[in-house]
Amino acid sequence: MFPIQRPRRLRSHPQLRRMVRETILTTNDLIYPLFAVPGEGIAKEVKSMPGVYQLSVDKIVEEAKEVYDLGIPAIILFGIPEDKDVDATGAWHDCGIVQKAATAVKTAVPDLIVIADTCLCEYTSHGHCGYLQVGDLTGRVLNDPTLELLKKTAVSQAKAGADIIAPSGMMDGFVQAIRAGLDAAGFQDTPILSYAAKYASAYYGPFRDAADSTPQFGDRRTYQMDPGNSREAIKEIELDIAEGADMLMVKPALAYMDIIWRVKEASNLPVAAYNVSGEYSMIKAAALNGWIDEERVVMETLTGFKRAGADLILTYHAKDAARWLR
């Protein structure tokens, strides 16, 4: 009458649990986001993201060295320019803030992989991800003219030393345009990590404080995906694969683990999950109030992303996770 199958047998000892664990999180899975700003000696904490800072290039280099020493293989750079305009000049100029940061990091820590976020919202005066029709107050980005800006931006980032280009604006055809631009400029070997399934999410709120990228009017729902759609994510990744993407990203991660799983099942490319600012801030706020065990919740969350199919995890928890993994 007793059970023949007793799954608890394999849970009886910590070492035994380690031996049969199906999903293993390591520092190799982590990518750490950094926010570059003009100036020197600047480390300004983002109010809505405790422990995350806007950093001048010299401080970015210090942070990059620490990240590398922790065994984290890559960073992704976002930039906040000194001036903004409708042409997003700071995104593609040779002296742009991400370009300066990328060059400085590759000089100081050549073996650290530098990913450049290739988007325009931080650099436009209106806060949208490309050109708008003159007089438009809805935020409906003009797709094809914006592709030329993204192409210029990607090439300038690659010239500055970026190892991977990560376009995030969700413009139709952006992977093909960037691939053509990189190839024509001699960067045939520079991979593209496409934000292939990026949703119009409320979880981005704190990031917009960090990157100073809140739209001045309208919203981004005409180009970012509707949170209710999952089949559309497969359509988006198939298009990006056909256009030459080397890796795919799902963003956000926490409320979209089903999408991570579907993308993983539908593709043989590496899949990244972006553990976004709102997800980070919720955990931080609860931890600072003593409501949760931060280490256990963070590690369980990151392991969940990997179990769902993520090969790479972009997360603001990366440094803490690397220390806990040690």
pLDDT tens figures, 158-168:
999 999 999 99
Every domain of the chain and the residues it spans: 7-325
Give pLDDT tens digits for 48-61. Answer: 999 999 999 999 99
Residue numbering of the annotated binding site: 119, 121, 129, 208, 220, 236, 277, 316
In this prediction the pTM is: 0.95
Residue 71 is which amino acid?
G
Helix (H) or strand (E) holding 79: strand 74-79
Residue numbering of the annotated binding site for 5-aminolevulinate: 208, 220, 277, 316
Residue 49 is which amino acid?
M
Give pLDDT tens digits for 59-87. Answer: 999 999 999 999 999 999 999 999 999 99
Q: Residue 237 in contact with residue 197, Cβ under 8 Å? A: yes
pLDDT of residue 175: 98
pLDDT of residue 207: 85
Which of 134-143, 188-197, 264-273, 300-309 has the least mean pLDDT?
Answer: 134-143
Catalytic, out of 84, 152, 251, 264: 251
Among candidate residues 257, 142, 141, the one with its CA nearest the CA of residue 199: 257
Cα 319 to Cα 239: distance, rounded to the nearest angstrom: 34
Catalytic, out of 59, 198, 284, 306: 198
Fold of 7-325: TIM Barrel (3.20.20)
Is 251 annotated in the active site? yes
* Residue 252: cis peptide before it, omega within 30 degrees of 0: yes
- Mean pLDDT rounded to a whole number for the chain: 95
pLDDT of residue 50: 96
